[in-house]
Amino acid sequence: MKKLLILALPVAVVGVVLTLWLANPAAVEHTHAAQHHQTQAVPSNALPPAVSLHADKDAMSGFNLTVAVKNYQMMLPVDDLVQTVVADNTRLSGHAHLYVNGVKIQRVYGRFVHIPKTLLKTGENTFRVTLNNHNHANWSQGGAAVQSELNVEYSKSVMAKSSAHGGHH
């Protein structure tokens, strides 16, 4: 009986700790967010990807964001997430991540994204889009993520675009 108790006790403790950890969304989100800080260097034989942003006030709520990419194909993940060999002068593929005021909002697989006013604060807001491989690592060039940022001004009565800057920062 003692041997059974000695074997069962550590298993039970691990189970309780794991249950408590998974019940804490902040711990899970922190671990999930940490995965998004990884980078994958753009292979030297690939065409260099670029992203730029444009936002227009939506007639109903928030902004409509246009994500323009160069030398990059946004697409849904494939079943096999292993990176394939990149042929010379090939466009990379993957998806993008959208951040509003530093908070990751969603993945982006296409050109147009609606950002509702519920995600905006009064005053200046920053939209940032990073290009990511299907393992969620940021594509990087010269040690910097391939991304673009756009600052927009929001007020409940008037919305106006302010400044944009793109490239890799």
The conformation of residue 121, written as its DSSP 8-state character, comes to: -
Query: What are the structural domain ranges in the chain?
Result: 2-35, 39-165
Q: Taking the alpha carbons of 128, 131, 134, 138 in that order, is the dihedral positive or negative?
A: negative
Q: What's the pLDDT at 82?
A: 54
Q: Report pTM.
A: 0.70
Three-class SS state of 101? coil
Euclidean distance between CA atoms 147 and 166, whole angstroms: 7
pLDDT in tens, 53-86: 999 999 999 999 999 999 999 998 876 555 555 7
pLDDT in tens, 112-142: 999 999 999 999 999 999 999 988 899 999 9
**Between residues 16 and 112, the one the model is more confident about:** 112
Q: Residue 44's Cα: distance from chain center in Å?
A: 23
Run of H or E residues at 72: strand 72-74
CATH of 39-165, one of 1.10.3470, 1.10.1760, 2.60.40, 3.30.360: 2.60.40
Euclidean distance between CA atoms 121 and 119, whole angstroms: 7
Three-class SS state of 34? helix
**Between residues 164 and 123, the one the model is more confident about:** 123
